[in-house]
Structure 1
Amino acid sequence: MIFDAFWSPIILSLKVAALATIIVMVFGTIIGRVLARSSKRYKVLLETFFLLPMVLPPTVIGFFLVIIFGKNSPIGQWIETLFQQSIMFTYWAAVIASTVVAFPLMYQSAKTGFIIANEQIEDGARDLGATEIQVFLYVTLPLAFPSLLGGMILSFVRALGEFGATLMFAGNIPGKTQTIPTAIYMAIDASNMSLAWALVLTTVGMSLIFLLFIQLINKKVISS
């Protein structure tokens, strides 16, 4: 029982954070590339919208997710009709909540990476006959890769520690939606400090490793 109470939220959190990171990596990279060198008037509005989850309280994000995907919303009703169940209080609800809060970090890192990518090198590749896809894959992407990797790691750590939005939208169902933060909250509420300490130290240890990895990447980029 104690074994399950410790490992179950850790394994679930890693799965949720990994899937959320993959999603934000794809969309954050694409949107970051599009807006990095865009001069459209709507760019400021879009960026403000994409970065909003960084400053909103997690409970506010959870509230909006409930409104958007709840049973009374058109999207929620469509999902329930399609899958015969509501998306709320499911594994996918935890993934959506983590994706929303982690996206700004990936987007900002991707945009920064594409901005600092050398346009002259890209133009040189075009002059040599490379297509836009080839330029992106073999020139732009490698130049922006350190920023993209840093964004991925930060997004993963942020998704791993998501609490408020997940609790409101996905709930706290052991073995189903109970992630590390919600498990810590419940352990403290039940005065189970040994479990709370074990989960806290595990989370701190994983976060330190990931952040140290980012520092090593930045140091390598600067030295090169």
Structure 2
Amino acid sequence: MADWLSPAEWDAVRLSLRVALWATVFSLPVGILVAYALARWRFPGREALNVLVHLPLIMPPVVTGYLLLLAFGTRGPVGGFLDSVLGFTFAFRWTGAALAAGVMAFPFMVRAVRLSIEAVDPKLEQAASTLGASRIWVFMTVTLPLILPGMIAGTVLTFAKGMGEFGATITFVSNIPGQTQTIPLAIDLLLETPGGEARAARLAGLSILLAATALALSEWISRRVAARVGGA
């Protein structure tokens, strides 16, 4: 692959994988918590939380990127604090690209896990609770094994969305080769470059291959997990 792609294109591939991986890693635990809260708990502001989680699906990605820039830029309330106190910066860095990808993919994670949790019979959890098990233990031993296929589906969707995120990323962290230029941003630049169509087509083909592989792997793992859970 290194011979097939130029060094700049290979950098975009590696950065895309890095961004998608970290976006998925940080989205998974938070996504499970939010999905469980929406599926099982009743609390003031539940509907507002549900709307907030799904807003990135409805708003233009550029708006999401702009809001991230306002909040996490070096002059923003969160970004300014992190920069001055911890020396950590999101804006115009690969970390910002991971944040943008995670925010845009978060609804996919939450929805996949939430649907899996809602499919679990609450009586199973209640039965374990009556035997003296704590909520955490009930979740770990009863709920978690049953929602594994949904978790896998959400993880793959989050990773795939992170690989393909464009609008929020370019607004928040710009298109800097070697720093923030993921595959979609590299394709956009190549399409604006005279004679860059062939290179853009290579990256587009690679994107399709990576996405198809991820989905196929997800289906295979989900079927195996579902078969084990069903036979348990």
TM-score, length-scaled by structure 2: 0.88
Say if 2:30 is the partner of 1:27: yes
Say if 2:183 is the partner of 1:183: no
Q: 1:212 to 1:86 in 2, by over 3 A?
A: closer
Distance in structure 1 (CA, Å) of the matches to 2:87 and 2:33: 32
Say if 2:202 is the partner of 1:198: yes
- Cα offsets for 1:157-183 (capped at 9, x unmatched): 001100011111111111111100001
Instruction: Give the counterpart of 2:99 among 88, 96, 99.
Output: 96
Say if 2:169 is the partner of 1:134: no
Say if 2:159 is the partner of 1:153: no
Q: Secondary structure at the match of 1:72?
A: coil
- Cα offsets for 1:154-211 (capped at 9, x unmatched): 0110011000111111111111111000011111111312211111001001111222
Aligned 1:1-224 pairs, distance under 5 A: 3-84=6-87, 86-190=89-193, 191-216=195-220, 221=226
Distance in structure 2 (CA, Å) of the matches to 1:54 and 1:159: 13
Q: 1:167 to 1:186 in 2, by over 3 A?
A: same
- Cα offsets for 1:50-103 (capped at 9, x unmatched): 100011111111111111122332223222212447531011110110111011
Distance in structure 1 (CA, Å) of the matches to 2:87 and 2:123: 53
Q: Which amino acid aligns with 1:55?
A: I
Q: Secondary structure at the match of 2:25?
A: helix
Number of aligned positions between the proteins = 224
5+ residue gaps, structure 2, are: none
TM-score, length-scaled by structure 1: 0.91
Q: Which moved more, 1:168-177 or 1:118-127?
A: 118-127
Q: Which amino acid aligns with 2:202?
A: A
Distance in structure 1 (CA, Å) of the matches to 2:26 and 2:68: 17
